[in-house]
Chains A and B, each alone.
Chain A
Amino acid sequence: MARAPTTTDAFNAVAEPRRRQILNAIATGERSVSDLVTQLSLPQPLVSKHLRVLREVGLVAARDEGRLRLYRLNGFALKPIYDWVKEFEDLWSGRFARMDVVLSELKQATPGTTKDGDDSDGGNRDDE
């Protein structure tokens, strides 16, 4: 199947699970390649390859400190992805909020234990 190369946009770049792992790892602070290799138990060439892709789409920035190159997350590049998924999330949140209402009614209609006539509340009142 013909596909755009993963390096062309952030959307494709984050579709790869390893790259998401790397993004998660650097989300909490700067990391060197060897930090990531240790933390994620991935081979160094693989980590470097993914970092290169992430840099090309702007998701990751780097700076040199002495002999060390440190990578960090660029949150702004993630925003379009967040926005994209967010609208879809809102759709489902609306449905789930309605399910909450249905469920609270179901819980009232079916108390934890289903015993009959235990409460002397006038016997069988109608269940609405």
Chain B
Amino acid sequence: MTSNGAAVVTLPTDTQILITREFDAPCHLVYRAWTTPELIKRWWAGDRGEVTSVEVDLRPGGKWRYVMTANGGFEVAFHGEYHEVVPGERLVSTEVFEGMPDAAAVTTTTFTERDSRTTLSILVQHQTKEYRDAHVNSGMEGGMQESLTYLENVARALV
């Protein structure tokens, strides 16, 4: 069993978040896991809850919407629209946390294969540093009790 390690998060500019991770799988499978509703349901909530609904209309102009019930019982939802869809290579979409509708981000996801391994790179471009920081804050209270604020912040990070 190969160990794939943790996510790597960096903040390239004041308004961006970059998340990268290598997978022991070819590009087309990572892309499939990333874009197929039945598969997204299995990973998108991470350890934080359960995904209850995933809609994906994977084409430019198509909409997506993910909903999860967080461990504390709250429902959180995200939606957006695909701008670019290059199968197996690149996705550009908007991303809106429905509890904070003004803070729309643009997310560019790229899939790069090398020696049967795939590097997934997610660049989140926020409109302001404040929105970006709120997004990163999502995980900050990880060890504390689940307040609504916490869940909203977690939800903010969940795309």
Contact = CB atoms under 8 A, between A and B. Distances in A.
Contacts of B48: 91, 94
B142 A87 contact: yes
A100 B9 contact: no
Interface string B100-112: 0000000000000
B12 A92 contact: no
A85 B138 CA distance: 10
Interface residues of A, number: 28
Q: Interface SS of chain A: helix, strand, loop or mixed? A: helix
B136 A107 contact: no
A15 B30 contact: no
A98 B136 contact: no
Interface stretch (B13-21, B72-80, B88-96): B13-21
A89 B6 contact: yes
Contacts of A92: 7, 9, 19, 21, 46, 157
A1 B14 CA distance: 13
14 contacts: A17-B12, A85-B136, A90-B142, A91-B142, A92-B7, A92-B9, A93-B6, A93-B7, A95-B7, A96-B21, A100-B4, A102-B33, A102-B42, A103-B29
Given A85-B136, A106-B25, A94 B46 contact: yes
Interface of A: 1, 3, 14-15, 17, 84-96, 98-104, 106-107, 110
Nearest to B4: A100
Given A88-B136, A90-B139, A91-B154, A107 B29 contact: yes
Given A88-B157, A93-B7, A103-B24, A110 B29 contact: yes
A102 B43 contact: yes
Contacts of B45: 95
Contacts of A87: 138-142
A78 to B, nearest CB: 13
B9 A102 contact: no
B148 to A, nearest CB: 17
B29 A98 contact: no
Nearest to A15: B14
A85 B140 CA distance: 8
Given A88-B17, A96-B6, 19 more contacts: A1-B128, A15-B11, A15-B14, A15-B129, A88-B136, A88-B139, A89-B6, A91-B142, A94-B46, A94-B47, A95-B7, A95-B43, A99-B30, A100-B4, A102-B39, A103-B25, A103-B29, A106-B33, A106-B39
B111 to A, nearest CB: 12
B23 A3 contact: no
